[in-house]
Amino acid sequence: MLNRLKKGDKIGIYSPSSPATVWAYERFVRAKDFLEEKGFIIVEGKLTGQSEEYRSGTPKERAEELNELLRDPDIKMVMSTIGGTNSNSMLPYIDYEAFKEHPKLIVGYSDATAILLSLYAKTGITTYYGPALVPSFGEFEPLVNDTYRYFEQYFIDEIELPYEVPMPRFWSDEAVNWLKKTTEKTLYPNEWITIHDGVVEGRLIGGNVNAMYGFIGTQYFPEIQHGDILLIEDCMKDALIVEKNFAMSKLHGVFDKVSGIILGKHERYDGLGTGKRPLDLLLEQLDGKEIPILAEFDTCHTHPMIPLAIGKKVKLDTVAKKVVCVEPWL
């Protein structure tokens, strides 16, 4: 069982794909300062401040940055700085045995899905779909404080089970200047949407569907089990790509096994004039399967973000529009 995070703990950061510590340096510093002001010690991976244009280093270099953090018994949590596109190229070089020897909280989202799911697939140790340093904690008020409150509840506070995942009152995917706060984000009233009434309970599995496309069907992807609850989300894709990625899941038989689906909000989605939302395209791929779905969920790229444990049981209630954690995740 992993221990809860506490003030004074060390959080190691690594860059599995995009070198945001270079191209978003001011935002990186703001995010680092934010968590340090909360009382944590940030340990920078060796590729911090390094860039090879679209990536922070070669696949082996990026894996070794992560491996050094995994091998360090004094680091309590490892958090990705941001996502990108090609974290899957690291997978053959990760030290999975080091993670078994020194289990720790591994958190991130987006393209870091490849790291989270491969670590879980190879070790059976829970990983966490949750905030990444630069995009989540380099934000401006008020939503950065909401994201931190959910992070604190999930990883620091003593929470009694069952834990009902809170629905934020407001959310936003509005793009604003990352370097300087010039305007306030537009906040939208929140609403979760459900399709097909049902109450199902199962192991949570999934993450960013575009990242999953890069390694599903390999030894690094967890075997989908009958009864699993599938979490899927994406960002800044158009309807063409969303359909392709949902079809990928269908062709791999994922929808034949899962008992429920949690579909995250899609940041800055482009329907290409079709009028179809991601939920509509998902229903096309389900082809009449009446799987309970909760859509517009906030474990995704929009702000604020709520963490969830990969590999732990949740209850999905589409009648009450609830996701409830029923198994200890720490």
**Active-site residue set:** 110, 233, 301
Q: Which two tokens stand for residue 154?
A: 């999930």
Closest Cα partner for 122 from 151, 101, 145? 101
Q: How far is CA 164 from CA 153, 172, 178, 266, in A?
A: 11, 22, 32, 22
- Burial (0-12, 13-18, 19+ Cβ within 10 Å), 103: middle
State the Cα–Cα distance between residues 81 and 160, nearest whole angstrom: 30
Residue matched to tokens 């995942």:
165
In sequence order, the β-bridge partners of residue 195 are: 293
- Burial (0-12, 13-18, 19+ Cβ within 10 Å), 88: buried
